[in-house]
Chain A
Amino acid sequence: MLAATVRLTRDIDLAEECVQDAYAQALTTWSHSGVPDRPSAWLTTVARRKALDELRRAVALRRRLPMLLIDEVEPPVKIGEFPDDRLRLIFTCCHPALNVDAQIALTLRLVCGLTTSEVARSFLISESTMAARITRAKKKIAAAGIPYRVPAASELPKRIDAVLAVVHLVFTAGHTAPSGSELVRRDLVERALDLTRMLRRLLPTDADVAGLLALIRLTDSRRATRTDAAGRLVLLEDQDRAQWDRDAIDEGIQLVREALRRRPPGRYALQAAIAAVHAEAPAWEATDWRELVALYDLLLTIWPSPVVALNRAVALGFRDGPAEGLAALDELGAEPALAGYGYLPAARADFLARLGRVAEAGSAYEEALLLTENASERDFLARRLERLREAWH
């Protein structure tokens, strides 16, 4: 509904105002005459009519209610209601002329319908900072003339990449919260899933969209087992696979197959295929490490990221043995992008411990602890270190 109104006003603030007015009108009208058959259509019609009035009179935006109150009452746009408008809105929010932080904030605020304070909380920054970020982004959209439309076919693949990157960032921020006390921020994971499902409905043949949806479903299928009753991190190796979400896995695997049909396969499809290998293994011992190393090799050719190389080294260690894995990890030691990355010393510590090199493993865990901010992950590393010291003495 917001999206449909923005198309008319080409001004997000004005559109929000009109949508808000329509809800206010609904409260009074519906209490007399009952709820109409198609309430969303009714609201959109009223909002657009109000937008037209505003445009005709060309009056400046009037603030009838404080911004906070508007935030409280404005509901999210329903998925699938006005698909073209929603798609336009996403492409506007994820326009490359906006920085990625602004893209994420705008997408959560305008496409997912989160309030400014919810968006702020999701990223652990103050509401006033987030409000300023969103205001600046909206102003830039209006002043710079960022268009409100689905990009032309020639630029579409690149622009879809930008949209998927934003959704993927929302998901990863939710799946492993960068800091804070909880490992998973459920709200962000749900938003990412909603957005990807919506993109899937809007772009049903896009292999990258299918790949990202598969990746999210497969990764999130392990949600119930990633922490124990006390909220402590449980490694993939120790998770109770009977509790994995089979529906999510089945859907994910079907989507992976579809996404992999495109040649060459995309980044999300390959990541999802990696998650699928784990999902299909009945037990940790039955994991197909050869397949995993092959998938990481393929992924590295299209996405040469040091983090992917790190994961490949770990898979290699499980395929060929901890000494080989350690050697592969040590090759990455000089990689500047991994210098502050806690997973590298954590992975080294694990292989060192498996090799019985307890003292070195201990200092690697200590290094990992210095570089890790998430409380669940810190607690996990501290427990590992403690167990190591007990075994040593």
Chain B
Amino acid sequence: MSQYLILIYEDEASYADATPEVWGQVSAAHAEFGEKYKASILGGNALQPTSTATSVRRDGADVTDAPFAETKEALGGYYLVEAADLDEAMSIAKDCPARFGGVELRPIMVFS
């Protein structure tokens, strides 16, 4: 088994404008996803928006009140999952809710 991080990239503006109904749908979708793949999900979190981000570069010598890179679709949450191979990880990732964007799948590096 290998571990993969599902990084959820979505348009933050769409969430800023979202109605309570949309928020309810999003949280229901994540609850359903979490239930369906509870055997595979090792952890996960939603992140505060990039307006709260602080970037610290070059060993703390350079601190900025901004995300590392300004992009339309920003990292907004993640799941850590366990899967037999990339095909299984992709099939989980395809079900991961991301209505205002998509997800990126990254294998966790194993140090031997």
On A, residues with C-beta under 8 Å from B are 95, 97, 143-147, 151, 155
Contacts and interface: CB of A to CB of B under 8 A. Distances in A.
Interface stretch (B21-29, B36-44, B73-81, B83-91): B83-91
A114 B19 CA distance: 57
Interchain residue pairs A-B with the least CB separation, the first 6: A147-B85, A145-B85, A145-B2, A144-B107, A145-B86, A146-B86
A221 to B, nearest CB: 39
A144 B87 contact: no
Contacts of A155: 87
A138 to B, nearest CB: 14
Contacts of A146: 85-87
Interface of B: 2, 4, 83-87, 89-90, 105, 107, 109
Contacts of B89: 145
Given A145-B83, A145-B107, A146-B85, 12 more contacts: A95-B86, A97-B90, A143-B109, A144-B86, A145-B2, A145-B4, A145-B89, A147-B84, A147-B85, A147-B86, A151-B87, A155-B87
Contacts, number: 25
A151 B86 CA distance: 12
A206 B54 CA distance: 55
A59 B98 CA distance: 42
A147 B2 CA distance: 12
Contacts of A97: 86, 90
Contacts of B105: 144
Contacts of B84: 145, 147
Nearest to A142: B107
A185 to B, nearest CB: 33
